[in-house]
Amino acid sequence: MAAAITHDADLSGLSTFKLPARARELVELTAPDQLAALPASELPLLVLGGGSNTIFLDDWPGRILLNRLTGLQIQRLDEEHSLVHAGAGESWHRLVMNCIARGLHGLENLAMIPGSVGAAPIQNIGAYGVELSDVLDSVRAWDWQQSRTVRLSAADCRLSYRDSRFKSTDRDRFLILSISLRLSHCFAPNTGYDSLADALAKRHLERPNPRQLAATVMRLRRHRLPDPARLANAGSFFKNPVLPAETASALLDDFPRLPHWPMPDGQVKLAAGWMIERLGFRGYRIGDAGVYNNHALVLVNHGQATADQLLELIEHIQAAVGDEYDVELEPEPMLIGRKLMSQ
């Protein structure tokens, strides 16, 4: 069946931040072979999954491909591992819970991350000490440059902290069709992240089973992060800045309580939420664009926020953090439309 096409489509319900915006053309893709059969178009193209990491600052003058490709297959590799192949349009959280139910491990800490499976490699999703890069085997994608399907190994995807080639150098080149994860039949919980370890200890679950671990992660997320169905948001709004060890160490001399994590490459990641909260931003708002009450790294839309209000808020926070800590904050979600002053 050909892909359904809507003209002058309303996008506000397709992005969890819910700014008002429209697209010239919206194409709902439910099978890979619909790609080759799409009517040719010179319009700019954008792929959208669950919309939890894409914010429309303006109307989109081109075509949007809504990635709704489904499917789940499990391939046993050996006694210890299986490959899970999941369609890009599947819900990420449903995939996590499905894998736990089948005794496939490695995704427990990534429970309840909003969005679709196809978005996971784009920004190398991560939470509570685990990142997609820990389990990703490969990605199947449609390559617009070569007009064919390609397989990219995890290394080919060039994943780093909340980044990949899909988000940077090859932003418009690939449409992710499915991803393959290498999961383990043995459960080896990763409980090193401070707030997760504390939450487990409080519940006397120092050695949790997979369901207990995922449930604890979900409890933490519910407590700290707003449910996009109730309060529009796009998760963490800024990346945690990563600085060379010497710069970080000088900053930590001035702010010894600033939470930080060493990175594998020797640099140091700093908690932007702490920096923003310390400047008094929790609950701050410009019109309906605001900083979440329970977590300063999350920006929210209280209902009728406009792109101008959001941009003013972003730039205000960036300027305040720059003045106080001499640190540049980079937005985490993809902001579509006009450029930020700082970009």
Binders of ligand EPU: how many residues, by CB under 6 A?
21
Minimum Å gap between C-beta 144 and ligand EPU is 27
* Footprint of ligand EPU on 179-198 (CB under 6 A): 193, 195
Closer by beta carbon to ligand EPU, 182 or else 295: 295
Annotated catalytic residue 91: no
Pairing of strands 22-29, 45-48: unpaired
The residues in 202-221 that bind ligand EPU, with binding defined as CB under 6 A, are none
Residue 213 CB, nearest approach to ligand EPU (Å): 14
Q: What is the nearest approach in angstroms of ligand EPU to the Cβ of residue 300?
A: 13
In the complex, what is the shortest distance from the CB of residue 282 to ligand EPU, in angstroms, rounded to a whole number? 6
Q: What is the DSSP letter of 340?
A: P
Find all residues with CB under 8 Å of 311, minimum gap 6, and list them: 57, 338, 340
Q: Which stretch binds ligand EPU (CB under 6 A): 38-46, 80-88, 232-240, 242-250?
A: 232-240
Question: Can you tell me which of 124, 138, 191, 236 binds ligand EPU, judged by CB under 6 A?
Answer: 236
d(Cα 251, Cα 270) in Å, to the nearest integer? 10
In the set 332, 334, 335, 336, which binds ligand EPU (CB under 6 A)?
332
Residue 295 interacting with ligand EPU (CB under 6 A): yes
Which stretch, 201-209, 233-241, 248-256, 306-314, contacts ligand EPU (CB under 6 A)?
Answer: 233-241
Residue 90: which of 67, 106, 121 has the closest Cα? Answer: 67
Is residue 330 annotated as part of the catalytic site, yes or no?
no
Q: Name the maximum alpha-carbon separation found in the chain.
A: 62
Window of 38-46, 135-143, 147-155, 266-274 that interacts with ligand EPU by CB under 6 A: 266-274
Minimal distance, residue 295 CB to ligand EPU, in Å: 5
Pairwise CA distance, residues 149 & 144, whole Å: 9
Distances (CA, A) of 45 to 24, 55, 60, 107, 343: 11, 15, 9, 31, 21
> Quick check: 224 binds ligand EPU (CB under 6 A)?
yes
> Residue 7 is encoded by which pair of tokens?
């003209």
Asked if residues 191 and 179 have their Cβ atoms less than 8 Å apart, the reply is no
Residue from 67, 178, 191, 240 binding ligand EPU (CB under 6 A): 240
HSE-up (13 A, CA, CB side) for residue 205: 20
CA angle (115, 24, 119) in 5-degree steps: 15
Listing DSSP states for 228-258 in one string gives TTTSEEEEESBPPPEE-HHHHHHHHHH-TT-
> Cβ distance 134 to 106 under 8 Å?
yes
| Interaction of residue 273 with ligand EPU, rule CB under 6 A | yes
- 52 tagged catalytic: no
User: Per rule CB under 6 A, is residue 235 in the interface with ligand EPU?
Assistant: yes
List, by residue number, the catalytic residues.
Answer: 162, 236, 332
* Contacts with ligand EPU, residue ranges (CB under 6 A): 127-128, 162, 193, 195, 224-225, 235-236, 239-240, 259, 271, 273-274, 277, 282, 295-297, 332
